[in-house]
């Protein structure tokens, strides 16, 4: 009697497939999305009005001679948003400011203060026209 065990040797090839390790959890992934805040929240978030940022008067917008002009323009844009005439986005507000600059014939080489004064006066003019169109006097005069 022979006590040696013989086993058959196989040369079968095993095809290996690579599978990435499973992630823990339910298999869903999350990403952080950049969401632009609405125009009406710009001042609360950035601590300055969009108009001051637009004319690059970030440090001087709240001085006595500029704050009134900045707020006239900001109030006008906010009013347009509330009336549904302007989308409540920063891009739309910037585009509107650019459009107002063109309509008021403001030169790119003018100083920040001059741009702001001219924009504010043009907005007052537009509000006055709007008031006449509807037969009411504007309350800011």
Render pLDDT for 60-117 as a digit per residue (tens, 0 to 9). 887 887 889 999 999 999 999 999 999 999 999 999 999 999 999 999 899 888 999 9
Tell me the C-alpha to C-alpha distance, in Å, between residue 119 and each of 62, 80, 130: 16, 16, 16
Q: How many CB atoms lie within 10 A of CB 2?
A: 5
Structural domain boundaries, residue 62: 39-131
**What is the pTM assigned to this prediction?**
0.69
Q: Is residue 88 part of a domain?
A: yes
Mean pLDDT over all residues of the chain? 81
| The predicted structure's pLDDT at residue 60 | 80
Tokens 């009411």 appear where?
136
Domain count along the chain: 1
Q: Is residue 63 part of a domain?
A: yes
| The predicted structure's pLDDT at residue 123 | 95
Q: Is residue 137 part of a domain?
A: no
Q: Is residue 120 part of a domain?
A: yes
Rounded CA gap, 80 and 92, in Å? 11
Q: In the predicted model, what is the mean pLDDT of residues 17-40?
A: 70
* Cβ neighbours of residue 74 closer than 8 Å, sequence gap 6 or more: 43, 49, 50, 51
| The predicted structure's pLDDT at residue 10 | 54
Q: Is residue 67 part of a domain?
A: yes
Q: Is residue 82 part of a domain?
A: yes
Rounded CA gap, 74 and 51, in Å? 6
Rounded CA gap, 89 and 95, in Å? 10
pLDDT digits (tens, 9 = 90+) for 2-23: 666 565 555 555 555 666 666 6
């Amino acid at each position: 009697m022979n006590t040696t065990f013989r086993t058959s040797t196989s040369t079968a090839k095993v095809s290996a497939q690579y599978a990435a390790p499973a992630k823990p959890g339910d298999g869903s992934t999350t990403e952080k999305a950049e969401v632009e805040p609405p125009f009406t929240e710009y001042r609360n978030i950035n601590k300055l009005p969009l108009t001051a940022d637009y004319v690059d008067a970030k440090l001087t917008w709240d001085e006595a001679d500029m704050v009134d002009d900045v707020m006239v323009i900001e109030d006008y844009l906010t009013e347009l948003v509330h009336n549904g005439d302007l989308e409540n986005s920063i891009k739309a507000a910037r585009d509107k400011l650019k459009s107002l600059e063109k309509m008021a014939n403001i030169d790119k080489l003018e100083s920040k203060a001059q741009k702001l004064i001219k924009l504010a006066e043009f907005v007052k003019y537009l509000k006055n026209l709007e008031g006449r169109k509807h037969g009411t006097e504007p309350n800011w005069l």
